[in-house]
Structure 1
Amino acid sequence: MEAVSVRHDGKEAVAAELYRALAHGDRERLDRILHPAFEGRTTEGLPLGLGGTYTGSDAMRRGFWGRIARSYDARAEPAGFRHLEDGDLLVTGRYVGEARQGGGKLDAEFSHLLSFEGERITGLVQLTDSARWSEALGADRALSTVDFRVTDGLAELRLDRPHARNALDQAMADDLYEVAQRLAADPDVRAVLITGDGPAFTVGGDIAVFADNAGAGLPGALRRMISPYHEALRLLSRLDAPIVCAAHGAVAGGGLGLLYCADIVLAAEGTKFASGFTSLGLSGDGGNSWFLPRLVGPRRAAEFYFEQRVLDAHEAVEWGLATRVLPAGELADEALAVTRRLADGPTRAHGEIRRLLRETWSATLAEQLAAEADAIARTARTSDASAAVAAFIDKRKPTFQGR
């Protein structure tokens, strides 16, 4: 059956109806406008993992527009309509409104490329200034799945979904990205402690995400969740502040990424470490394919993946996933003490060491030697280095300020 063509003004009317339906949250009207085979593609880099591909009108309505409505009081104001030779309609305008938390103003230009079949929209490709959306949220977006605080230069990040064994869902991915941005922007943070509340550190991806998005919607849902989580891992790995991770219960799947970002991993007796991806028919995320071979070697990494090895805490130390094992009752106190010692250290030197250790995997010996020379010259100019040299001459213990 051939699709019925729609006049130019008819397409504009359908588009205008779309924006009215979005402004009023009219689900029934959206269902009439959007084709069952609808696909939306939104701007990569949007905050809260909003950028990506949404397969199906329901995925777009719930996963994109619905989540925007929860975080922003905003509307799309179309200003221009241009009919293209291929039958698509290009709509330009502005998003106007504010963030619900903090009230940051949103004013961002957009272009929407709309595709049609008959009188229904089959596709929407969005382009907008993602930075404006992030700026509207500001740095103090409320956290729902992560507890975060900074005291005297020591940052504590605690996963806080104990009822779900700290499984990673969209909210936690967004919260981790938010916290990572705060850490990266705060020069007074001198060490970070990552812990998990409840019976497990984290069991990886929340199976509810897979159940709620089964079928064609799953790829888009996973990409939206993984995008902010991976950006959080990238930011954490590049902090000057060293990171301590206190693992207990279970650490699995993509949640292993938080261990990989840490410089010191303390594991409680009885902790289990596992991949679990192939049991779900998935390849993996969380930086596993990059960090794991570098930490344990390619052969053991392959064994961990393909044979679905489950390591106990002592095996994790022997393999190189963890630093040392502690009695469960001592884990919290020792992890805090280690982090406190690091927070009292020379933060700029710690940052240079983190970079050198990270970049050694891709550098030649000559490049690494040059990088060491540059780094030690930079740290020699810090206040901490001057104070430490003076303390050494005076035969006293130095007091570092992290500068």
Structure 2
Amino acid sequence: MTSPDTGSLVDKLLAGNRTTLTGYAAQHFGWRVVDGVATVTLNRPERKNPLTFESYAELRDLFRQLAYATDVKTVVIHGAGGNFCSGGDVHEIIGPLIDLPMPELLLFTRMTGDLVKAMRHCPQPIVAAVDGVCAGAGAILAMAADLRLGTARSKLAFLFARVGLAGCDMGACSILPRIIGQGRAAELLFTGRSASGDEGYAWGFYNRLCEPDALLDEATRLATDLATGPTFAHGITKKMLHQEWSMSIDEAIESEAQAQAICMNTRDFERAYRAFAAKSRPVFEGD
């Protein structure tokens, strides 16, 4: 009996899904891919990089495509001009929302939530480089990243209460307490006040603080280090960090046993052993 060509079989199963994004032409933000590291630049610096209906939707669609991207191993997201993101554009989003009927409002809030889902479900680790203003939906983008680097002048603010809205926006009441703790999250979500870079670092929101001029380089260096690692295994780590929020300890241990057994069947695991035996550095290829 002839053995199936597994490569051809996989290609058939994934036909139409696999994609490369190096040449992707973003319409509403900056995008580039170098050595497996993609950089998203929110680039409306004259307005502190607010989001629009269009940029929300394009970011959502792009992060969904990343699940099938073969050329992107990690992602850096940052803002141009010394600020990260000031949230939803007051005139292009907040104003029009006042006149929308409830069904259309729900379409909008589900769409913004879908952006966070796409960020959490893409396998690539996401590094947010947060300088200056990081407010409203911008704070949500940073929260949805896997790792966050900040600066002393970072200003983190979940502003929803200040515009008459609940703090439960785009998963904030679920995700933020897991990063900084229930009491601290409640304070930021109820008051809408800004947390300084030092506060954000002390609370665990930022993994570390950098000098503003070095922030993007530090974030890119971190993303590059991750991109040279076992990227399939990194994707499993990200998935388990997300899935285990709703598991019991016993369920988590069993799920991790299954996940680790899958990783032990990869060529990267074998490469690491061979490199260790040869006293050399492993070169991971993500398979």
TM-score range, shorter chain: 0.7 to 0.9
1:96 maps to which residue? none
Bigger relative contact order, structure 1 or 2 (CA pairs below 8 A, ≥6 apart): 2
Q: Deviations over 1:338-364 (max 9, x none)?
A: 111111110111111112222222111
2:129 maps to which residue? 246
**1:260-299 pair list within 5 angstroms:** 260-284=143-167, 285-299=169-183
Counterparts in 2 of 1:316 and 1:390: CA distance versus 1, 3 Å: same
1:71 maps to which residue? none
In the aligned structure 1, how far is the partner of 2:103 from the partner of 2:197? 35
Aligned counterpart for 1:336 among listed residues 190, 213, 220:
220
In the aligned structure 1, how far is the partner of 2:104 from the partner of 2:210? 37
Counterparts in 2 of 1:222 and 1:172: CA distance versus 1, 3 Å: farther
Deviation of 1:151 after TM superposition, in Å, equals: 2.4
Aligned counterpart for 1:210 among listed residues 90, 94, 97:
94
Q: Deviations over 1:5-41 (max 9, x none)?
A: xxxxxxxxxxxxxxxxxxxxxxxxxxxxxxxxxxxxx
Secondary structure of residue in 2 paired with 1:266: strand
Q: Deviations over 1:45-83 (max 9, x none)?
A: xxxxxxxxxxxxxxxxxxxxxxxxxxxxxxxxxxxxxxx
Q: Which runs of 4+ in 1 moved over 6 A?
A: none
Aligned counterpart for 2:229 among listed residues 345, 350, 354:
345
Counting helix residues as a fraction of each chain, which structure ranks higher?
2
Stretches of structure 2 lacking an aligned partner (at least 5 in a row): 1-16
In the aligned structure 2, how far is the partner of 1:378 from the partner of 1:213? 46
1:379 maps to which residue? 263
Which of the pair has more CA radius of gyration?
1
Secondary structure of residue in 2 paired with 1:149: strand
Counterparts in 2 of 1:248 and 1:219: CA distance versus 1, 3 Å: farther
Deviation of 1:295 after TM superposition, in Å, equals: 1.3
Give the count of matched residue pairs. Answer: 265
Deviation of 1:390 after TM superposition, in Å, equals: 0.5
**1:350-365 pair list within 5 angstroms:** 350-365=234-249
Aligned counterpart for 1:320 among listed residues 191, 204, 207:
204
1:154 maps to which residue? 37
Letter in 1 for 2:253: L
Instruction: Give the TM-score normalised by structure 1.
Output: 0.62
Letter in 2 for 1:351: G
Residue identity over aligned pairs, in percent, reads: 33
Stretches of structure 1 lacking an aligned partner (at least 5 in a row): 1-134
1:192 maps to which residue? 75
The reply to whether residue 233 of structure 1 matches residue 116 of structure 2 is: yes
Checking the alignment, whether the CA contact within 8 Å between 2:24 and 2:31 is kept in structure 1 is no
Deviation of 1:369 after TM superposition, in Å, equals: 0.7
Counting strand residues as a fraction of each chain, which structure ranks higher?
1
In the aligned structure 1, how far is the partner of 2:81 from the partner of 2:102? 29
Secondary structure of residue in 2 paired with 1:361: helix
Checking the alignment, whether the CA contact within 8 Å between 2:64 and 2:122 is kept in structure 1 is no
Checking the alignment, whether the CA contact within 8 Å between 1:255 and 1:286 is kept in structure 2 is no
In the aligned structure 2, how far is the partner of 1:323 from the partner of 1:379? 26
Q: Deviations over 1:275-301 (max 9, x none)?
A: 111111011423211111111222111
Letter in 1 for 2:179: L
Checking the alignment, whether the CA contact within 8 Å between 1:148 and 1:179 is kept in structure 2 is no
RMSD over equivalenced CA pairs, Å: 2.1
